[in-house]
Amino acid sequence: MDKPFSQACENNKEPILKVLIQHFAQCKRVLEIGSGTGQHGVYFAKNLSHLAWHTSDASSNHAGIQLWINANPSANLHPPFSLVIGQDSWPVTPYDGIFSANTAHIMQKHEAKLMMELIAEALPKGGVFCQYGPFNQDGHYSSQSNADFDLHLKSQGYGGIRDIEDLQYWGRGLELCDQISMPANNLTLVWKKR
Ligand SMILES: C[S@@+](CC[C@H](N)C(=O)[O-])C[C@H]1O[C@@H](n2cnc3c(N)ncnc32)[C@H](O)[C@@H]1O
């Protein structure tokens, strides 16, 4: 099996890292929800050596993530465990940082809602959640390409682009501290546990 590859990850990892360097500066243990190929995990663990990075996803993605880890081992990079929001129970390990990229629009609405609720409950006071992806504001798309992408997602059975206001409502224990514009009409939302 070859390592799975996402060109989008190669394009966005550097701009995302700049955000994480700032907002995960005080974090010691970070959970990544929906690690996908594993490219983000290996890159962020290598460049954020002060913290432990824990990858997770559905078990069908573990072999691919592990190939990336084997090719780029870091003492602070941990193998994937199964975390499917809506199916698996929340891990008992405490995390003071959580990262998730491009998951809320893939998840069904009840899963995205549950993810926000679980994160709001699990993070300690001052804990940080960095959430990357396309988002809507006040029901509006930020670009025509995001509107087209949303139609495509829904036609494939995925949940679709989320409104920031819904995420705020579902994750009421979190404060939305920052919304950082990223390339390709994406955002990084920075949430902090109140
Ligand atoms: C579009 S991919 C993004 C992967 C990677 N984070 C990236 O940015 O390239 C969406 C990921 O969300 C994961 N996912 C979908 N539903 C999920 C759920 N209910 N709980 C956790 N992860 C989920 C998928 O397995 C997949 O890895």
Q: Whose CA is nearest to atom 8 of ligand 1?
A: 101
Q: Report whether residue 61 contacts ligand 1, using a CB cutoff of 6 Å.
A: yes
The whole-number pLDDT of residue 158 equals 98
Q: Report whether residue 57 contacts ligand 1, using a CB cutoff of 6 Å.
A: yes
Q: Report whether residue 77 contacts ligand 1, using a CB cutoff of 6 Å.
A: no
Considering the chain, what is the average pLDDT of its residues?
Answer: 98
Mean pLDDT across the stretch 7-13? Answer: 98
Q: 155, exposed or middle or buried, with CB in 10 Å at 0-12, 13-18, 19+? A: exposed
Q: What is the CATH number of the domain that holds 46?
A: 3.40.50.150
Q: Give, rounded to a whole angstrom, the gap between the first and last alpha carbons of the chain.
A: 44
User: Is 2 inside any structural domain?
Assistant: no
133 and 101 Cβ atoms separated by less than 8 Å: yes
- What pLDDT digit, counting tens, does each position of 11-53 carry? 999 999 999 999 999 999 999 999 999 999 999 999 999 999 9
Percent of the chain predicted with pLDDT > 90:
100
- What pLDDT digit, counting tens, does each position of 151-168 carry? 999 999 999 999 999 999
Ligand 1 pocket mutation, candidates 19, 103, 116, criterion most atoms within 8 A of CB: 103
Q: Report whether residue 6 contacts ligand 1, using a CB cutoff of 6 Å.
A: yes
Contacts of 172 (CB under 8 A, 6+ apart): 120
Helix or strand holding residue 52 (H, E): strand 52-57
Mean pLDDT across the stretch 102-126? Answer: 98
* pLDDT band at residue 142 using 50, 70 and 90 as cut-offs: very high
The whole-number pLDDT of residue 128 equals 98
Contacts of 65 (CB under 8 A, 6+ apart): 35, 36, 37, 38, 41, 55, 57, 79, 80
Can you tell me whether residue 96 is helix, strand or coil? Answer: coil
User: Is 1 inside any structural domain?
Assistant: no
- What pLDDT digit, counting tens, does each position of 116-141 carry? 999 999 999 999 999 999 999 999 99
Q: Which domain holds residue 135?
A: 7-193
Q: Report whether residue 164 contacts ligand 1, using a CB cutoff of 6 Å.
A: no
Number of domains, the chain = 1
99 and 29 Cβ atoms separated by less than 8 Å: no
